[in-house]
Amino acid sequence: MRLKHVIGALALAGTLGAASAASAQVPDSLTQQGRLFDSAGAPISDTLDFTFTLYADADGTTLLWTETQSVELVDGFFSVQLGSATAFPPTLFDGSVMYLGVQVGSDAEMTPRQPITSVPYALTCGNAVGDISPNTVSVGGGLVINEFGEWVGPSSGLVGPTGAMGPAGPAGPTGAIGPAGATGSIGPAGPTGARGATGPAGATGPAGATGARGATGPAGPAGAQGPMGPAGATGATGARGATGPAGAPGATGPRGLQGIQGTTGPTGPQGPKGDQGAQGLQGIQGPRGLQGLQGPTGPQGILTGFSGYSSAGIGITQSGLVWLASLNQQLQPVAKGQKALVIVQSLIGVGSGQGNYAGAIYACYRPNANTSPTPISPPAYGFGQAGTFSMLSTSAVWEITASATYEFGVCGESVSGNKTPFNFAASGGSLLLFNG
C-alpha cells in the first residue's frame, strides 16, 4: 500500500486518576493524533503497524528513540500514546531540538519529519513534584550549589557561631548489674606430648636347618615309529596323432569392365509469369463517437489550520463554561458538511494554602465573544490538592451542520463537588478545517 500523507498533532497526554495520583506523577507519554490518506487522496479505515521515531536532526541520521504500535484508523483518523510500547529514556527531553518520523507498514518513512515543539518538554516537570536533579543551583545569577553538590554561596545567615560549652551535668545513678553472659565454648585441645624413647631390641634367635629336597623320578621310554609304505607306479602317456596337410586357396577371378556414363538431357524452358491482380478498394472510415461528459470536480482536502495559546491565568469561582483561549482570533467562515479537528490542552490547579480542586476542559466553539461557548469534545477532568497542577488534553472531530462563522477554542468549568476556587493557565491548542 502506498500512502499519500498523514496529518498529525502532538500533545501531552495521560490518564488522570484519583487526586493523589494526579499530583504525584507527571504523565510519561505523548499523544500523536492525525489523519492518514492513501495515494489517491482517500482516507484509510484499517488497522496498520505505525513506527514512530525521534531523531536529533531533520535528516533522520541520529536516532534517539523508536517504537512500533498496531493502530486502528477510522475514516483516516487515529490517536496513539507514544511511549506506551517503549518507554522514553528519563533524560530524552533535555530541551534540545528533536524531530518525529512516522512510518506506516513497509512504506518509507514520511517526510518532512515533524519538529517537536515545547509541549513535550513538560515531561521534565516531574522533578518539580518529587526529588529534583539539577546540575547546579544559582540564585540571582550567583552560584550557590556547584556540580559536586557542595555549598559555595555566602556563609552568612547559615550557621551561627559556636556557643560556650555548658557545665557538665551530674553523674547518673549506677545501672543494675546485667545478667551473666552465656558459657563460652570449650577451648581447643592442648598439644600432644613428646613420644617416649624406644627400648632396646631383643637378641635374634638361631635359624632352623633347611630340609632335604626329594629325588625326581625317571622318565618313561618313547615308543618306536612304524615303517612308511611304498609309493604307487605312474602310468605312461599316450602318443599324439599326426596333423594333416592344409588345402591350397582358390584363385581370384578377373574384375569386369565399367560401363559408359550416359549424356545429360537439355533443360526445358521456364513458363511465363502470371499477371498481378487489381488492388481492392479502401473501406469507408466510420464516424467518430461522441465525447463523454466531464466528471464532477472532487472535493478539496484540507482548507486551513490555526493554533492559539494563552499564558494568562483565569480564576474559576462560578458554575458554567468559561472561555479560556481562542485558536483563531477572528471568526472563521465554515460551510455545511465541512469538518473541524480540534485539539486543546490546559494546566489546572491551585496554589499552596488552598483546598482541593476539581475541574474539566472541552474543545468549544462560539458564534462571537458575546455568546456562551458550546462544547464539541468529551471532557478531560483534573483533580488535585493545594499546591499541585494537572495538565489536561482532549480532542474531537466535529462535522459542521450549517454554514456560519465561528470562533474555536478551549473552555473550562468547575466540576460538581469542587471545594475551592482554582485557576486555568497555559491554555491553547490547534484547529484543522477540511472537507469531509
pTM of the model: 0.34
- Count of CB atoms within 10 A of residue 400's CB? 17
pLDDT at 104: 95
Q: What is the pLDDT at residue 360?
A: 93
What is the Cβ-side half-sphere exposure of residue 291, based on CA atoms within 13 angstroms?
Answer: 3
Parallel, antiparallel, or unpaired for β 46-55 and 99-104? antiparallel
Which CA distances in Å does 72 have to 4, 11, 85, 98? Answer: 17, 19, 15, 26
Pairwise CA distance, residues 427 & 429, whole Å: 7
CA separation for the pair 97, 115 (Å, rounded): 7
pLDDT, average across residues 310-315: 85
Mean pLDDT over residues 131-152, rounded? 84
- Looking up cell 559556636 gives 162
pLDDT at 320 over 90: no
Q: Torsion-angle region of residue 429: left (phi > 0), alpha (psi -120 to 50) or beta?
A: left
pLDDT for 432: 92
- Residues 54-67, mean pLDDT to the nearest whole number: 94
Do 269 and 398 touch, CB atoms closer than 8 A? Answer: no
Judge contact between 17 and 29, C-beta under 8 A: no
Q: What is the pLDDT of residues 78-116, one digit of tens each?
A: 999 999 999 999 888 888 899 999 999 999 999 999 998
pLDDT value for 77: 96
Lowest mean pLDDT among 12-21, 127-136, 215-224, 388-397: 12-21
Give the whole-number percent of the chain exceeding pLDDT 90.
33
